[in-house]
């Protein structure tokens, strides 16, 4: 049922064709108890300093193996929008997890733009639009932060959601919109994860990533980066997470370095 819902969300809201051959496979693992994954990211190169090995990288273990694709790429919906900057939702390919009622979402803007930026939050199955609003214009390119608390939206555990960022060059013809987005689900932490998070530690993002809690792991690193924008180790740790979910261009882009545009 959830698989069909994701497809309906993509087709009706984002105007994206659904690839054939998608199928549900194995169920997702309980929170904090994901199956093991090859040790990708344990050591990684520095995107800014090729050949320099960085230890203790966070390792993201996707919790939703076999789930349908939820990440919506930055392709245009129609021809004639080459002038629009590239945007990306900084999310895994399948729906990402959060422990929060009002998590923080991150997306990427390659270049400054005067084009209108819209945000949409949908609850799936049954379909319901929770937020549809125009955002403040980003003041700079790079990683953009969006707090659900700023929009009065709250996520329930056990429900599936889709969020979208849209560049709207022509409000009179929405076929020209450039759309990205991702899936998000709120889960309860396992007893083991709760105990780990109760112990204050600088590697909180590593614990969250290993448990599959994508949104909170990225937010934890981003908060640290904002406090210490010159810390290359933190920059590389966040870049490693982006690379592990198939966003290498963001990981290697200087504009994704410390600093945030407005929500």
Taking the C-alpha atoms of residue 38 and residue 194, their distance in angstroms, rounded to an integer, is 24
Phi, psi torsion values for 60, nearest 5 degrees: -85, 125
- pLDDT score of 83: 82
Q: Cβ–Cβ contacts within 10 Å for residue 167, how many?
A: 22
CATH assignment at residue 231: 2.60.40.10
- pLDDT score of 51: 39
Q: Does residue 97 belong to any structural domain of this protein?
A: yes
- pLDDT score of 155: 98
Condensed to tens digits (0 to 9), the pLDDT of residues 173-231 reads 999 999 999 999 999 999 999 999 988 776 899 999 999 999 999 999 999 999 998 89
Question: What is the pTM (predicted TM-score) of this model?
Answer: 0.76
Q: Does residue 112 belong to any structural domain of this protein?
A: yes
Instruction: State mean pLDDT over 35-53.
Output: 39
Token pair recorded at residue 215 = 């949104």
Q: Does residue 120 belong to any structural domain of this protein?
A: yes
Provide the percentage of residues in the chain whose pLDDT is more than 70: 70
Structurally, the chain folds into a number of domains equal to 1
Instruction: State mean pLDDT over 58-78.
Output: 78
- pLDDT score of 253: 63
Taking the C-alpha atoms of residue 22 and residue 245, their distance in angstroms, rounded to an integer, is 19
Give the structural domain span for 156: 2-15+39-256
Provide the percentage of residues in the chain whose pLDDT is more than 90: 60
Q: Does residue 28 belong to any structural domain of this protein?
A: no
Q: Does residue 62 belong to any structural domain of this protein?
A: yes
Q: Does residue 142 belong to any structural domain of this protein?
A: yes
Q: Does residue 96 belong to any structural domain of this protein?
A: yes
Q: Does residue 261 belong to any structural domain of this protein?
A: no
* DSSP assigned state of 50: T
- pLDDT score of 77: 52
């Amino acid at each position: 049922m959830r698989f069909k819902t994701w497809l309906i969300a993509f087709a009706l809201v984002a105007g994206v064709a659904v690839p054939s051959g998608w199928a549900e496979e194995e169920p997702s693992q309980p929170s904090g108890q994901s199956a093991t994954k090859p040790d990708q990211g344990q050591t990684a190169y520095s995107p800014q300093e090729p050949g320099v090995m960085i230890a203790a990288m966070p390792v993201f273990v996707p919790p939703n193996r076999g789930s349908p694709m939820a990440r919506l790429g930055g392709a245009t919906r129609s021809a004639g929008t080459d002038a629009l900057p590239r945007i990306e939702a900084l999310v895994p390919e399948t729906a990402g997890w959060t422990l929060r009622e009002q998590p923080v979402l991150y997306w990427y803007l390659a270049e400054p733009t005067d084009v209108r930026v819209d945000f949409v939050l949908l609850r799936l199955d049954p379909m319901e639009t929770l937020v549809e609003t125009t955002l403040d214009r980003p003041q700079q390119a790079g990683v953009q932060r969006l707090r659900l608390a700023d929009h009065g939206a709250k996520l329930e555990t056990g429900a599936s959601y889709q969020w979208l960022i849209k560049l709207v060059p022509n409000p009179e013809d929405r076929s020209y919109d450039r759309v990205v987005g991702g899936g998000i689900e709120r889960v309860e932490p396992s007893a083991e994860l709760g105990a780990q998070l109760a112990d204050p530690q600088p590697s909180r993002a590593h614990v969250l990533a290993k448990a599959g809690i994508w949104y909170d792991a990225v937010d934890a690193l981003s908060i640290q980066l904002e406090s210490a924008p010159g810390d290359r180790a933190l920059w590389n740790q966040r870049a490693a997470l982006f690379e592990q979910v198939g966003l290498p261009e963001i990981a290697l882009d200087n504009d994704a370095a410390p600093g945030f545009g407005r929500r």
